[in-house]
Amino acid sequence: MTETYTLKKVKKIYRQGAIEVPALRGINLEISPREFTVISGPSGSGKSTLLNIMGALDVPTEGSISLEGKEFSGLSKGALSDLRRDRIGFVFQAYNLIPVLSAFENAEMVMSLQGVSKKERAEKVMHILEEVGLKDLAHRRPNQLSGGQQQRVAIARAIASDPAVILADEPTANVDSKTAAMLLDVMERLNREKGTTFVFSTHDPHVMERAKRSISLVDGCIENDVA
């Protein structure tokens, strides 16, 4: 079975003037299809850096990373952009919804960029919004939705293009514990029923409790990896 992700000796060094600040120190990691994996660790441990590199939003200083056998460094900017659009779904702490678009329009955005027909988009988005409990709120804009509802729109947007993996960076950070549990229920169900691969970065113990695999980072190194 082809691994979803393969990371080999991934290092990331940020430079502040003449000072080098290592964020990742030689990460070796494989993520398999259908995983529900949590990356945890204290602030500054490298969680968000690792997720950004996995999402092709940042590039490693050293090492290699591939998704479904495609090594990022061997792809042109256009091909990497297409890979990010088609095979990676993102759920951000701050939702990152477009304020002038409705929940429906936000959720269909990636499929629109992919050239999916209007009819197919409409059918699929309404089905997904129903799955995340937002069918009746499809035409509301983000400022008319609660934080938890906005995050569910973000989840709908992330899964709409049938990506290989969804990367979720602190997805429960801005919602209360009841809403967080509901969001996790949605993502667990998608993982179980659709086989969607999820990789989270989090401080939230409730997210960690749901993990099928738990990876802990300390100072840019993997300290523990427990399935």
Domains annotated for the chain, with CATH where assigned, are 34-59+74-226 (3.40.50.300)
| Residues 104-115 pLDDT 10s | 999 999 888 888
| Residues 54-64 pLDDT 10s | 999 999 999 99
- For the chain, residues with pLDDT lower than 70 are 1-2
CA distances from 116 to 79, 84, 185 (A): 18, 17, 29
pTM of the predicted model over 0.85? yes
CA dihedral 145→149→153→158, nearest 10 degrees, is 150
Indicate the residue type of 59.
V
Indicate the residue type of 175.
V
Rounded to an integer, what distance in angstroms lies between the CA atom of residue 55 and that of residue 41?
A: 19
